[in-house]
């Protein structure tokens, strides 16, 4: 009776990564938060270790590769989360825009170095500023509650009926 359930984060992250290319169905807030938590738990020690032991350029390369690997399932996860709210997955383009800006800036940095990056930033500063409202809007959409009843995107992933009182997802 006093026992607590094991933490679902590793299982949630594995399930999310396994469904990296599945854009149908629905995902809960806890799946999104759990994946983000596990991604942080993986990336923080790797970043710390590489920053202390490897040259700066190698540290950046390892960090960028890890970011790309951890970002693979995110578009599908976002679409499934939007589906849980009975929204179209088209809203996921907000996150794709932010990621594309990061990807281009990272590519320019790696190809042209710091001076090239500064010259690039002088031209593309507006795109960087537009990332902020796009990220805020995406965060709000990801944290809004889902619909309690089945929708055109599938059954309630929390396994609750609409007739039951809502609980935290």
Position 113 in a domain = yes
Number of domains in the chain: 1
Distances (CA, A) of 137 to 4, 44, 95, 100: 35, 25, 9, 16
**150: in domain:** no
- Structural domain boundaries, residue 100: 9-143
The per-residue pLDDT for range 82-94, each reduced to its tens digit, is: 999 999 999 999 9
Mind listing the pLDDT tens digit for each residue in 119-141?
998 998 899 899 999 999 999 99
Residues of the chain with pLDDT under 50: 1-3, 5-6, 163-165, 168-169
State the pTM of this model.
0.79
């Amino acid at each position: 009776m006093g026992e607590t359930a094991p933490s679902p984060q590793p299982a949630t992250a594995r399930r999310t990564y396994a469904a990296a290319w599945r854009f149908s169905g629905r995902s809960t807030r806890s799946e999104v938060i759990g994946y983000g938590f596990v991604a942080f738990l993986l990336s923080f020690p790797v970043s710390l270790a590489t920053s202390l032991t490897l040259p700066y350029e190698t540290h950046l390369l390892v960090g960028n590769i890890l970011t790309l690997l951890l970002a693979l399932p995110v578009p599908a996860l976002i679409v499934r989360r939007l589906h849980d709210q009975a929204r179209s997955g088209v809203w996921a383009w907000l996150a794709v825009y932010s990621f594309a800006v990061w990807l281009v800036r990272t590519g320019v940095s790696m190809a042209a170095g710091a001076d090239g990056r500064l010259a690039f930033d002088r031209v593309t500063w507006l795109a960087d500023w537009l990332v902020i409202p796009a990220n805020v809007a995406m965060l709000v959409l990801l944290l809004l509650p889902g619909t309690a009843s089945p929708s055109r995107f599938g059954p309630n992933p929390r396994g609750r009926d609409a007739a039951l009182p809502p609980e935290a997802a």
